Amino acid sequence: MKFYIIAFLIIASFGVDIDKNTFSNYREVKMQHLHIEWLLNLRTKIIDGSAEYTFKVTTAELKEVHLDIYQMEIKYAYYPNVGKVLDWHVESDPKQSLVQGDKLIIKLGQSYKYGDIFQLRIKYQIGEAARALSFLSVDQTDDKKAPYLFSQCEANNCRSMIPLQDTPSIKFTYSATVLTQDSQINVFMSGLPVENNKFALMEQYNMNGIAKIFQFELKIKIPAYLIAIVAGTVQEKATGQRTSVISEAKNIDIYQKELEDLDKYVKYLEDYIGEYKWGFYKIVILPASFPFGGMENPLLTFANPSIIVGDKSGVSVAIHEIAHSWFGNTVTCNNWSNMWINEGFCVFLERKGLLQLFGEIDYVYVNSQVGTKEMNALIKEFNTSTDPVVKSYASLHPITEDHNADDSFSTIPYERGYQLLFYLESIISETKFQQLLKDWLRQNEYQSADENDFYNFMITWIQSNFTIEQFLAVKQQIDSVYTKWVYETGALPVKQGFGNHASTQATDLAEEWLSSRPGEQPQGYEIFDQFKSNQKQLFLSYMLEKYINMNTITMKQLDLSYNLSENKDAELLFRWYTLSIQTKYATTNTNLNQIRSFVGKIGRMKMINPIYKALDKNTAQTWYNENKNFYHPLARQSIENIIKSKGQQINVELL
């Protein structure tokens, strides 16, 4: 009977939406716990690593463990208790090695049965080739005192730091020991710090060369992409009873002031969705080369300094990352084709929190309209491609097989996913949909799921909480759009307007500029200075949408009227700079040098990618070559793909 139960469980598992971006045999054996030990040498940009794994067998018989790796040197694998060295080899596909990495195959030397638990260790070394890691020289830091290191594992880049099952389908607890050789270096990880002797060292070291030892653990299960580290002359300052900010000393007081309301933001979201179960919330303001606005590492959110504007207008990024504590970190997509399970839900919760921040739904809807315009532009762009993979990026279920999952990342899973949930709320009712989301979290806590899981849960929930007549009517509405919304690449099945007075002010002003005579300011143009940052973003997004109707004379008048080229808000600058290139306003006599400087001072892909897309190929290559060493490996990859896709035309005025 036991055999038939095991066989049934194994066969049943093949009905799930599997992860096609991992080489691991995660459906046969699952990581339960990971302990890593790192010796950092930031000056030589080398990390000596050891990893100990606790595995549980989920197949009838297991003889090998397959793990994901990327550009690392494996030294040896062994059983820790008996010291037995294990045979291993790397299986490499030349077409995939630099795209998704390689498969590390470890022969266990014996057979394990379903339910067995065992441990093994791997000794390895990594360096600059690890695309999850950014090693910064002393000159690239704010404090100019010591080198700096930070990681970015999402999507499947943790395999370049640690050999493991690099898939969001697998969740595990983890602990870490980090040794430094420089007393100036402090270390933080996505876990709770513990006393530096809780975990015995796995390797032998010359302790005379060890300056500090840091240890961490996280007892809540997470996927590999949420493992994170920052090391440098960083320090921590409290922003509230359970929140804090971490950064280099130079600007930490500015960051602390800008983020002084973090406790309130956590409470806003708790009031809507339920208890924050991670204990503390810490945000690290990283160097400007960090490729994203934020990254939701538990207990250690990463953020780009571009979110610090001076007027708290950038803190919506912090609210978004806090929202990931529920959607993404607690319930996680089971593969990167289902990223909207993380991001669409997170944007939905973020905008519930923004209602508390803004005080008026109109200003929340402005964010929704900005997102809609950027989503629609990408839907149009992706659908012009003849490559079915690229075209699929316009859907909520992109094709990621045989590709780096990072390539599919865009505004689409955020905004298309958000608008699906917004529509579902409109037909289920706001109060009931709130309870549905709470129950979804409760049932799937610390699990991984896909769109089909959510659909089945939602339909069952509605059936249990509505009359039969109501259920049938609501289900019919959902079924008429759900599959189209997720899988089709065209416009949304239902158009959401998000009409509001604040947005109308911004778009009306944009229209007045577009219809004004060249060189003239429209009546009431000064209202722009009274707009909130997101209204200004909408104004510029509207202009970008209609840039072919713009002329350089009107652009010059815009710049003179609002001093846009000198603005300190990066959210406005990148839109204005992109518009400047598209309308040919950008020359050495206007703001071209400022744009060139901008892409060399910020590495946030959201902000530099549109600029590189707007440039001609030769100029883009020239500017990229100037800044390549500054950019994070993920940004380099993204910009190189943009340049590769360009034609050969040259705009000599931009050189």
Q: Chunk the chain into consecutive blocks of 10 residues (it has 655) and report each block's average pLDDT, rounded to whole numbers.
A: 42 61 98 98 96 98 98 97 94 94 97 98 97 94 94 96 98 98 96 91 93 96 98 97 96 96 94 95 96 96 95 90 97 97 97 89 94 94 94 97 92 97 97 98 97 98 97 97 97 92 96 92 95 95 91 95 95 97 96 97 96 96 96 92 74 35
Q: Alpha-carbon distance 442 to 330, whole Å?
A: 9
State how far Cα 177 lies from the chain centre. Answer: 25
The closest alpha carbon to 176, from 380, 38, 285, 311, belongs to 38
Q: Alpha-carbon distance 157 to 74, whole Å?
A: 17
**How many other CB atoms are found less than 10 A from the CB of residue 195?**
8
Which pLDDT does position 647 carry in this prediction? 67
Which pLDDT does position 354 carry in this prediction? 92
Beta strands in 169-269 (DSSP E): 172-180, 186-189, 192-194, 212-222, 229-232, 234-238, 243-248
The pTM of this model reads: 0.92
Sequence-ordered list of residues with C-beta below 8 angstroms from that of 260, at least 6 positions apart, any chain: 239, 240
Please report, as a single letter, which amino acid is at residue 359.
G
Q: Alpha-carbon distance 229 to 215, whole Å?
A: 12
Sign of the C-alpha dihedral, residues 50, 54, 56, 62?
A: positive
Alpha helices by DSSP H, 429-499: 430-443, 451-465, 468-479, 482-487
Sequence-ordered list of residues with C-beta below 8 angstroms from that of 243, at least 6 positions apart, any chain: 259, 262, 263, 266, 280, 281, 282, 283
Which pLDDT does position 650 carry in this prediction? 38
Return the H-helix or E-strand segment holding 377. helix 361-383
Sequence-ordered list of residues with C-beta below 8 angstroms from that of 48, at least 6 positions apart, any chain: 38, 39, 41, 125, 203
In a 3-state reduction of DSSP, which class is residue 84? Answer: coil
Interior angle at CA 587, CA 581 and CA 591, nearest 5: 80
Which pLDDT does position 4 carry in this prediction? 40
The closest alpha carbon to 349, from 428, 278, 438, belongs to 438
What Å distances lie between residue 624 and 137, 306, 405, CA to CA? 19, 20, 23
Which pLDDT does position 11 carry in this prediction? 38
Quick check: 217 and 174 in contact, CB under 8 A?
Answer: yes
Please report, as a single letter, which amino acid is at residue 455.
Y
**How many other CB atoms are found less than 10 A from the CB of residue 591?**
23
Q: Alpha-carbon distance 401 to 390, whole Å?
A: 12
DSSP 466: S
State how far Cα 350 lies from the chain centre. Answer: 15
Q: Which residues are catalytic?
A: 321, 414
Q: Alpha-carbon distance 228 to 148, whole Å?
A: 14
Query: Binding site for a peptide: what residues are annotated?
Result: 152-154, 291-296, 604-606
Which class for 251: exposed (0-12), middle (13-18), buried (19 or more C-beta within 10 A)?
middle
DSSP 164: B
The residue written with tokens 């950019």 in the block is 631
In a 3-state reduction of DSSP, which class is residue 627? Answer: helix
Question: What DSSP string runs through 525-575?
Answer: GGGGGGS-HHHHHHHHHHHHHTGGG--HHHHHHHHHHH-GGG-S-HHHHHH
Query: Binding site for Zn(2+): what residues are annotated?
Result: 320, 324, 343
Interior angle at CA 437, CA 362 and CA 339, nearest 5: 85
Which pLDDT does position 298 carry in this prediction? 97
